[in-house]
Amino acid sequence: MFDRLSRMSSGFRILVVDDMPAVRLILRNMLEEAGFTDVIEAEDGEVAWKLIRNTVETGDPKPIRLVISDWNMPGMNGVDLLRAVRASAHTRELPFLLITGEGDPGLLDEAGAAGVTDLVIKPFTSAQLGEQVRRLAGG
């Protein structure tokens, strides 16, 4: 089991998007604890969208396989990033995990309508995040 997870996670590039550097570091550490070591970061939705488009346009051999994004960010927020990802034929199937501190049903409906793959509501543990990412990674 661990060997399979190790092979899967080593080639599974994850993009973490959050405007707070400390939160990005925490998420990176949680993912690494779960065995996912190929993690890149973006400080907002605009930078993330440029990274995603660049990996598609250049045919990057290590494409982004999962986006984990905070909802609330200045500029392009997480839902706006999700909408951009879903609007592109090249990225519409990209798994997208949205993190929010809000459990408001209206917000959850908005995320669902935008095509979110899954949601994580704060607070959550490393184990919970790892389990969701493993599920989205197909393992």
Nearest Cα to 13, choosing from 80, 79, 124, 95?
A: 95
Structural domain boundaries enclosing 26: 2-136
Which tens digits make up the pLDDT trace of 73-97?
Answer: 999 999 999 999 999 999 999 999 9
Spell out the residues 6+ positions from residue 96 whose beta carbon is closer than 8 angstroms to its own. 66, 67, 69, 82, 85, 86, 115, 116, 117, 118
Structural domain total, the chain: 1
**CATH number of the structural domain spanning residue 9:** 3.40.50.2300
- Provide the 3-class DSSP secondary structure of residue 92: coil
Spell out the residues 6+ positions from residue 130 whose beta carbon is closer than 8 angstroms to its own. 30, 31, 33, 34, 35, 36
Q: What is the largest CA-CA distance in the chain?
A: 41
Q: Is the per-residue pLDDT at 42 higher than 80?
A: yes
Which tens digits make up the pLDDT trace of 95-125?
Answer: 999 998 877 778 889 999 999 999 998 899 9
Reported confidence tier of residue 6, pLDDT bands at 50, 70, 90 = very low
| Contact predicate 41/28, CB 8 Å | yes
